[in-house]
Amino acid sequence: MIIGVPAEIKDGETRVAMTPSLSRRCVKLGATVLVQKGAGFRAGFLDTEYRHAGAKIVNTAAKAWGEANLVVKVKEPQPSEFRFFRSDLTLFTYLHLAACPDLAAALVEKQVLGIAYESVEGREGLLPLLKPMSHIAGRLSIQTGAYFLQTQNGGSGVLLGGVPGTMPGRVAIIGAGNSGAHACRMAMGMGARVAMLDLDARKLEMIDEEYRGGVVTLMANPGNIEMAVKDCDLLIGAVLVPNAKAPTVVTSAMVKQMRPGSVIVDIAIDQGGCVATIAPTSHREPTYVKHGVVHYAVPNMPALVGRTSTSALTQATEPYLVNMVTRGINRALTEHEGLARGINTRAGRVVNRQVARALGYR
């Protein structure tokens, strides 16, 4: 098997899909690993380290894509990469197709076998390849939000932890899953007053137990969402309906009721976002102001901490890659139901039911 590792080209991306140590393991198992020159640089991994691990450094993206039968990436391919698609290619990466119709169309047209990290299932339906990046994005959402709450960054001038004798900042987190729970941990660590909302009562019970009632938990019905949004300085959107476009749980009218300079960080933007007024932003221009509220919606937040994110991501993908290298892609997919559930496109069709529904494919 020949595995290609192209450099990531999405705006501000710093992660890489393979560390030198994972390359070494794949090479030892018999794979050829082609790493595009400089692909690991922004995550702190040098070409020489990949060479020592037995990987080959190739000069261009065309080589990393063109000479491999399995391409591993981090972010969804960008339009300039669509030209590398071909019918004998397997692509293993985040795809987020519900929010990327053009990418879905290109994968279908070129009959690529597209396995999406975010759709791979573990035991009890958990999403083991989404989870580590959600943890990171959740933690980052609070430090990013705290930064944009600062007056010089366009915010209302609220310090999340406050100081004795002042009110602490108020944080509302909608979605108490992987990213929401880690946002909660950071916000509590900073001393903010936190409200968590979710439709799943068990998640709220877990939060209530963990913080012994120190976090306000609310069922995510429209009335509670409106109250929490109006009351907060920092709103975190962290909902997910797997593979589907994120539901809009915060309306424009709710955003208009927020205090000027309040901040929204919509982590769910990679699935379209869960706030009516949200649109994707980039690391280059991470925010815009609407109705007086600072909106932050970067779809690849973990790139802010490329080293940590690369370690967390590749530790999660390693068993799946090792399985594909050892058994071959077809056998690995046949024998591992959870990995097979990651398939989003195959032989010119969208084969994931929710993705197909979100995009209007049969």
| 269 touching ligand NAD, by CB under 6 A | yes
Q: Which residues contact 163 (CB under 8 A, 6 or more apart)?
A: none
Residue 198 touches ligand NAD, criterion: CB under 6 A: yes
Structure tokens given for 141: 């959402």
Among 271, 314, 344, 345, binds ligand NAD (CB under 6 A): 271
In the complex, least distance from residue 58 CB atom to ligand NAD, rounded to whole angstroms: 28
Q: What Cα–Cα distance (Å) separates residue 172 from each residue in 70, 268, 306?
A: 41, 15, 27
Q: Name residue, tokens 């450094």.
A: 57
Cβ at position 138, least distance to ligand NAD in Å: 7
**Residue among 19 and 134 whose Cβ is closer to ligand NAD:** 134
Residue from 91, 173, 239, 332 in contact with ligand NAD (CB under 6 A):
239
DSSP state at residue 272: T
Phi and psi (nearest 5°) for 161?
-80, -15
**Of 4-12, 26-34, 227-235, 262-270, which segment contacts ligand NAD by CB under 6 A?**
262-270
Segment near ligand NAD (CB under 6 A); pick from 21-29, 67-75, 105-113, 243-251? 243-251
Distance of CA 50 to the CA centre of its chain: 26
Q: What positions carry a catalytic annotation?
A: 96, 270
The burial class, CB within 10 Å (0-12 / 13-18 / 19+), for 167 is exposed
Closer by beta carbon to ligand NAD, 64 or else 116: 116
- Site residues for ligand NAD, 303-362, by CB under 6 A, read none
Q: Is 4 in the site for ligand NAD (CB under 6 A)?
A: no
Kindly identify the residues of this chain, within the stretch 109-148, that bind ligand NAD according to CB under 6 A: 118, 130, 133-134, 137
CB atoms within 10 A of CB 333: 21
According to CB under 6 A, which one of 301, 321, 325, 355 is a site residue for ligand NAD?
301
Phi and psi dihedrals of 344, rounded to 5? -105, -35
Residue from 26, 74, 216, 240 in contact with ligand NAD (CB under 6 A): 240
* 359 CB neighbour count, 10 Å cutoff: 18
Instruction: Answer yes or no: are the C-beta atoms of 175 and 240 closer than 8 Å.
Output: yes
**Residue 174 binds ligand NAD (CB under 6 A):** yes
Q: Which is nearer to ligand NAD, 68 or 97 (CB)?
A: 97
The long-range contacts involving 152-157, CB below 8 angstroms and separated by at least 24 positions, are 153/294, 154/261, 154/287, 154/289, 154/294, 155/261, 155/262, 155/263, 155/294, 156/233, 156/259, 156/260, 156/261, 156/262, 156/263, 157/261
Indicate the residue whose CB is closest to ligand NAD.
177
Closer residue to ligand NAD in complex, CB, 159/199:
199
Q: How far is the CB of 38 from ligand NAD (least distance, A)?
A: 23
Cα 120–chain centre separation: 14
Contact set with ligand NAD (CB under 6 A): 118, 130, 133-134, 137, 174-180, 197-200, 203, 220, 238-241, 246-247, 249, 267-271, 299-302
